[in-house]
A and B are shown apart, each in its own frame.
Chain A
């Protein structure tokens, strides 16, 4: 079972570069989301989607774009990387019907360093 797959696992960027973090799930989940994890802080929601063609902003959306053209994929784009975006990024998915129960399935994370 693949579950939630994130690529790449590690990435180093220079300030101003752009890149895309890929996320794919094979569980037919309607809900997908991107979080960032910083030391000493809980996960913070960047963007989320409740279905193909529908996306919305979370707590910290600035500097990031998302799209959801298929149920399976939910890429996160950094338009112009900044050192403040150095973090570990997690993609998570869930059945929409389980949203209020909060059981999320997570990918293994992507560690991004911006120099």
Chain B
């Protein structure tokens, strides 16, 4: 079965510092997408960043960037200059399923210390 694993249930970081959230996945597919979604206390899921598996260049969106290691099946999220508004649950997901359904990790709770 295809799986997405987030091994860090909770992470904390000092405001303005950098934090990296880990995600690993298992698939036999060659073409897929990987995502990081953010869920703030308001509960609504928001797409943070997306990576296409066939692209070698790591995706970046302002303070958010990924470290995509296809051979290692690793997809970590780096948040630079952490802000209080970054506090949320972060979910890693992949569209590896043949029906294009997303497969989700269990989430990492990110705490920002002022």
Chain A interface residues (CB < 8 Å from chain B): 40-45, 48, 58, 88, 90, 92, 99-104, 106-109
Contacts and interface: CB of A to CB of B under 8 A. Distances in A.
Interface string B44-77: 1111001010000000000000000000000000
Nearest to A100: B100
25 contacts: A41-B106, A42-B4, A42-B91, A42-B93, A42-B103, A42-B105, A43-B91, A43-B104, A48-B101, A88-B43, A90-B45, A92-B45, A99-B100, A100-B33, A100-B100, A101-B33, A101-B50, A101-B95, A102-B50, A102-B94, A102-B100, A103-B47, A107-B44, A108-B43, A109-B43
Contacts, number: 55
Contact of B95 (A102, A106, A109): A102
Contact of A102 (B46, B102, B107): B102
A104 B45 CA distance: 9
Nearest to B93: A102
A58 B100 CA distance: 11
